[in-house]
Structures are given as structure tokens and as C-alpha cells.
Structure 1
Amino acid sequence: MRGPRTALIAQKVAGAKIILKKRKGEPKRGKQTTKDPNAPKRPATAFFVFMEEFRKSFKENFPDNKSVAAVTKAGGENWKSLSDSEKAPYIDKALKRKQEYEKAVEVYKKNSALGGNRDDEQSEKSMSGVHDEDEQEASS
């Protein structure tokens, strides 16, 4: 049985060194695309909506506990112990956030398809108008 194909092959050489060689015919990896900072952020899941509220209550009950791991562990155990009916409000909030996100993505895609954000164009026009006034005053 063969193992999974990988881009590198490990070969053992005398002297217990491992040399990594690229396989022939493997496709080159392309440049990774960078995420647009203007793109909308993905919405939180129901668990993370629950954790926002749980962190607040945990800090009130245990003000001396500064451990992130303890808060996360307690929150995870509490989430698992909730019934479906108790999870429902958090699921509803997560669905609302998802709908808002989908609307924001549509707006973002429309703006990016038009070649940029219309607000940026207006601000550039207003800036150019200011610079034109400065140039006219300087020439007078």
C-alpha cells in the first residue's frame, strides 16, 4: 500500500541525514493570495456568540481567575451540557449575523466589481478640488 503523495521525498543518506528532494513532475505552488482588508469579516458561530456572554459571567463569578484556558474549558463544558432549546437563542443570533454578513458580502462584491469603493472616489475628487483651490490661490 502506497502512502499519500507529497511534494517532497525524504531520502535517508549514510550518516543519518535526511535530504528532502522535490519530486519530478510535481506542480509548483503558486503565490498565495492575500486577503483583502476591506472584505467583511465572517460571522461568529453560535458557540462563539455563547462564549461572548459566558466570558462576562465567568469574569463576574471568578474575578481572580485570569487563565484563558480555564475560561475556554469551562465554556466548552457548559456549551456541551446545554440542551437544544437552551442553545436556540445563540443559534438565532448567529443566523442573524450570518444574514448581515451575506448582505455585506454582496455589497462588497458589487463595489469590487465596479473597480473600487465609491466613497474612495468621492474623497479623491474632494481632495483634488481642495488642491486646485490651493494652486489657484498660489498663482494669484
Structure 2
Amino acid sequence: MKGGKSKADSTKTDARLKGKSTGAGKRGGKKEKDPNKPKRPPSAFFVFMEEFRKQFKEAHPENRSVSVVGKAAGEKWKSMTAAEKAPFVAKSEKRKAEYNKKMQTYNRKLAGGANEAEDDESDKSKSEVHDEEEEEGSGEDDEE
């Protein structure tokens, strides 16, 4: 049969359509997201969108379409001058600075959480070993 599909070919196609892996594709899968990780800050456009949605909803209460709001906001953003965009850019920068601070503390907690227990044990063992050496040293002097 020229040009005909075999049964094996159709099962591979069906597996891909259903989203199942045939075994050779993905290796490990997705990493799980940490729920404690801070969310990324919005860009200046999204800061603008927060305010624009409220204004658009007041002006057009009958509109329920998200795409219409997005298109209208995009058109307005493109037509705005840099001076008009400046307050939204400033808010975005402020949020970005806060995000960077939160990420630093988050990263410190991650690094500290994994290493704190090891550091505590290793510090104790070092001091205990040091104390034992001093005691042994003083004991040897007494015996001689």
C-alpha cells in the first residue's frame, strides 16, 4: 500500500494529539514552582493597564470583552508621549526595586535554609574538637 498509514503511525499521531509523551520526547518534565517566590513586577504598560481598565469600565459598562479593553489600551499607550508615560514608568521602577529587595531576601533564605543546618553542625563540631584538643593538651601536660 503506497501512501497508506500503518497502525503504528496512527498511534503515534494520536498520542501527540492527546498530549501524551511517546517516551522519547521530554525527559524530566517541568519543575514545580515555589509558592513563596515573589512575583515579577509589572512593566510600565501593565501599570498603565491597571488604571486604564477602571476608566474604560466606567466609560463602557456594557462591554464585557477583555480583548476590546486590551486593544483600546494598546492604541492609547502607543499614542502617548514619553512625558505622559513617565508616571507609569516611575511606578514600574519603584515596584521593580521592591521586587529586587524581596528576591534578595528570598535568595538568602534559600541559601541560608539549606546551609544553616550544615553550618550549625560544622561550627559545633569545630568548637567541640577545639575544646577536646585543649583538654587533651592540658591533660598530657599534667601526666608528664
TM-score, normalised by the number of residues in structure 1: 0.63
Q: Which runs of 5+ in 1 are unaligned?
A: 1-12, 21-25, 117-140
Give 2:87's aligned amino acid: P
The counterpart of 1:14, out of the listed 3, 7, 19, is 3
Structure whose residues are more often strand by fraction: 1
RMSD of aligned alpha carbons:
2.4
CA apart distance, 1:42 = 0.3
Seen in structure 2, the aligned counterparts of structure 1 residues 71 and 115 have a Cα distance that, compared at 3 Å, is same
Greater radius of gyration (CA): 2
Seen in structure 2, the aligned counterparts of structure 1 residues 28 and 57 have a Cα distance that, compared at 3 Å, is closer
CA apart distance, 1:34 = 1.3
2:72 corresponds to 1:74: yes
Identity of aligned residues (%): 53
In the alignment, which residue of structure 2 is the partner of 1:134?
A: none
Q: 1:107 and 1:75 mapped to 2: Cα distance? A: 35
Matches within 5 A, 1:17-36: 19=9, 29-36=27-34
Q: Larger RCO: Structure 1 or Structure 2 (Cα < 8 Å, ≥ 6 residues apart)?
A: 2
Give 1:69's aligned amino acid: S
